[in-house]
């Protein structure tokens, strides 16, 4: 009796899942673990049989059977949606608090400037001059100690 090769491929048509030699007229069954495909972009896949599976009942020639899958959109659970919503609300509160804090600091700085009756530019220049004076004093100290 003649024998035929039966090859089971994954849906990429490259990955060999199993190979069998079957006598002519005999049925063939996939003996391996049920094929699986990783989810991609929120879509999950379920094994749905073989392309050409009608020929598995009575093998009459060399067969190449390809796995077929059904696609299903993965929906987020209520818990996942609640967690996402809580995270978004927390981020919004954090951003709002940071904005309020920054606004309060600006107001405090403006009030301090108004109270001091100097412009911001005058204060910056004074700080820069004081910094130069301090650096100059440190350099002079170093020279005296030597």
The string of pLDDT tens digits covering residues 57-72 is: 999 999 999 999 999 8
Q: What are phi and psi of 21, to 5 degrees?
A: -110, 125
Tell me the per-residue pLDDT of 91-123, one tens digit each, with 9 for 90 and over. Answer: 777 767 777 776 777 667 667 666 767 776 777
Between CA 49 and CA 68 the distance in angstroms is 6
Considering the entire predicted model, what is its pTM? Answer: 0.51
């Amino acid at each position: 009796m003649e024998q035929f090769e039966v090859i089971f491929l994954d849906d990429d048509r490259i990955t060999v899942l199993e190979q069998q030699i079957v006598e002519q007229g005999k049925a063939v069954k996939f003996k391996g673990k049920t094929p699986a495909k990783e989810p991609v972009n929120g879509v999950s896949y379920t094994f749905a049989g073989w392309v050409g599976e009608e020929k598995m009942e009575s093998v009459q020639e060399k067969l190449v059977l390809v796995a077929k899958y059904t696609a299903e959109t993965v929906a987020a659970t209520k818990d996942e949606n609640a967690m996402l919503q809580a995270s978004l609300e927390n981020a919004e509160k954090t951003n709002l608090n940071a904005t309020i804090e920054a606004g309060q600091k600006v107001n405090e700085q403006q009030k301090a400037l108004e109270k001091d009756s100097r412009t911001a530019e005058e204060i910056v220049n004074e700080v820069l001059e004081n910094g130069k004076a301090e650096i100059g004093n440190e350099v002079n100290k170093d020279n005296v100690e030597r």
